[in-house]
Structure 1
Amino acid sequence: MERILSMEDIRFTYTPDEPDQPYAVDGVSLGMQQGEWIAVVGHNGSGKSTLARLMIGLLFPQEGTVGLFGDTLTEENLWDKRSQMGMVFQNPDNQFVGATVQDDVAFALENNGIPFKEMTVRVQEALAQVKMDGFMDHEPQHLSGGQKQRVAIAGALALKPRLLILDEATSMLDPQGREEVIKVILELREKTGLSVISITHDLEEALLADRIIVMNRGRKFAEGTPAEVFAKGEELTALGLDLPFAARMTALLRDRGLPLRETMSERKLVESLWTSRSNG
């Protein structure tokens, strides 16, 4: 499989003229294959959002290299690489440039030279995917926070990116909206091989990933499958992270003497409880 992202010993500081200040990202290395979903989790200030900005060239590291789609990321190839990516930030107001919802979703497509006829189809499809096609002529500033975030996600999906980066992109959505958007992304991933990097503090969302990276004080604290990472339960809670509900409940019930298997899935927790009851 093609490696679409690589970061080698990345170091970045917002205060390069103050050598005694800690790095926002300190010695981080990672690689990502086509079609993979990686979740980057950590408390506020852990470096995860800075890491996302380094991935797409909004920032360049003082040390180390970033590779995208087989090439080292440089200022010369930055725009070509970005044309293959979509990114959604936590605050959608920072991304709006169009007078209407459809203008905003079309903006990046127009910049990438997509023909008008195809652009129209893509805008309609992307807005329908996030259930915002009924708002095409609305002004973005008059939308609710959750609606704005859906439009921002539609703008990224319309690009048909090879790599989608979500920086706390579902944090402003209600539970149903979050579930619907995640479902769309999962379907696109299955159909197109879309690669996803989810920057989040929501460990329930991180369960969807193939691999989780835990950031702490600018460094990579842990990396592995969801099962491997969440096995570090007490270490994660010490960092200020909340374990998924099923993992927390399993631990509490095991402390009370129930012989349950480690699980992070609510469905598997119910099955384990049923088995325990049947055997008891």
Structure 2
Amino acid sequence: MTEILSFNNVSYSYTPDNPDARKAVQNVSFSIQQGEWIAIVGHNGSGKSTMVKLVSGLLFPQEGEVRVMREVLTEDNLWEIRSQIGMVFQNPDNQFVGATVQDDVAFALENSGVPYEDMVERVHKSLAQVKMEKFLNHEPHHLSGGQKQRVAIAGALAMRPKILILDESTSMLDPQGRDEVLKTVRALREEIGLTVLSITHDVEEALYADRILFMNDGKKYAEGTPTEIFALGDKLVEFGLELPFAMRMTKLLQSKGVQLVGEHMTEEELVNDLWTSNFNK
């Protein structure tokens, strides 16, 4: 496995001259291997947004180091490393600059001096990858929220990044739009081995990840698989996060006397257990 991103004892304070001030990120270490999907979860103020800024070079650590492709991120290599990172933000309407879908996907390519023939090929390929090739000449503001985010992902993919960062990119979508985006990202990961870093407070989105980093008060409180993290149960609730819907429903049903085996993170697991334990007799 190839390490593609790492934090090594990274700390950052927005008020470095005040030694008593709380650090936005404090002594955080983790690494991501090529092809992994890592989710960083936590309540507002837990340090998630600061970590995104540190990855993208908008901020630099005051302690520790950030490495991308095993290379320490500095002001000297900032633009080279940024070219390896694609980002999809929270509000899709704030990301569009082109009059049509294909114009928007081509925007960054054109600014980067990509030759026209290559640019056309990349636009068509990236839109096909997110199943939006039929919308080439559509105006972005006529699309649904999920479609807009898929176009934003296509714009990122066209630049051929090594890492795709989803910065609360499903938080403004309805359930259908969120499902569209997450299924698209999962398919891309399987198809081209894309490395994904998602920043979210949505626990349902975090279930898609291989590993979860749970942040609290600027510190990495826990790290593990979704099963390991959500096994913390009420501790997550105490720190301002909800448990996945299926886990909450499992607890509610058990409190009403319904026989269930263990806890369930997905609705499919819950339905299967309900059927096996209570109806298939």
TM-score, normalised relative to structure 2: 0.90
1:265 aligns with 2:266: yes
**2:278 match: secondary structure:** helix
Equivalent-residue separation in structure 2 for 1:259 and 1:169 (angstroms): 34
| Aligned position for 1:153 | 153
Q: Deviations over 1:213-240 (max 9, x none)?
A: 1111111111110000000110011111
1:142 Cα deviation (Å)? Answer: 7.3
Indicate how the Cα distance of structure 1 residues 176 and 129 shifts in structure 2: closer, same or farther if over 3 A, else same.
farther
Indicate how the Cα distance of structure 1 residues 21 and 91 shifts in structure 2: closer, same or farther if over 3 A, else same.
farther
* 1:16-35 to 2 correspondences below 5 Å: 16-35=16-35
Residues 96 and 140 in structure 1, CA contact (< 8 A), matched pair in contact too? yes
**1:109 match: secondary structure:** helix
Q: Deviations over 1:182-237 (max 9, x none)?
A: 22211111121111011111101100100011111111111110000000110011
Q: What is the one-letter code of the residue matched to 1:68?
A: V
| Aligned position for 1:119 | 119
Equivalent-residue separation in structure 2 for 1:189 and 1:84 (angstroms): 16
Equivalent-residue separation in structure 2 for 1:14 and 1:144 (angstroms): 37
1:157 Cα deviation (Å)? Answer: 2.1
1:227 aligns with 2:227: yes
Say how many residue pairs are matched: 280
Aligned-pair RMSD on alpha carbons? 2.3
**2:243 match: secondary structure:** coil
**1:16 match: secondary structure:** coil
**1:32 match: secondary structure:** strand
Q: Deviations over 1:75-104 (max 9, x none)?
A: 111111121210112134554444544333
* 1:154-193 to 2 correspondences below 5 Å: 154-193=154-193
1:58 aligns with 2:58: yes
Residues 37 and 211 in structure 2, CA contact (< 8 A), matched pair in contact too? yes
Unaligned runs of 5+ in 2: none
Matched-pair identity in %: 65
Residues 146 and 172 in structure 1, CA contact (< 8 A), matched pair in contact too? no
Q: Deviations over 1:20-79 (max 9, x none)?
A: 321111111110101100011111111111111111212111111000011111111111
| Aligned position for 2:72 | 72
Residues 164 and 194 in structure 1, CA contact (< 8 A), matched pair in contact too? yes
Q: Deviations over 1:114-153 (max 9, x none)?
A: 3211211222333344455565456656767655434322
Equivalent-residue separation in structure 1 for 2:142 and 2:263 (angstroms): 46
Q: What is the one-letter code of the residue matched to 1:91?
A: N
Equivalent-residue separation in structure 2 for 1:126 and 1:101 (angstroms): 11
TM-score, normalised relative to structure 1: 0.90
| Farther off after superposition, 145-154 or 258-267 | 145-154
Unaligned runs of 5+ in 1: none
Equivalent-residue separation in structure 1 for 2:236 and 2:120 (angstroms): 46
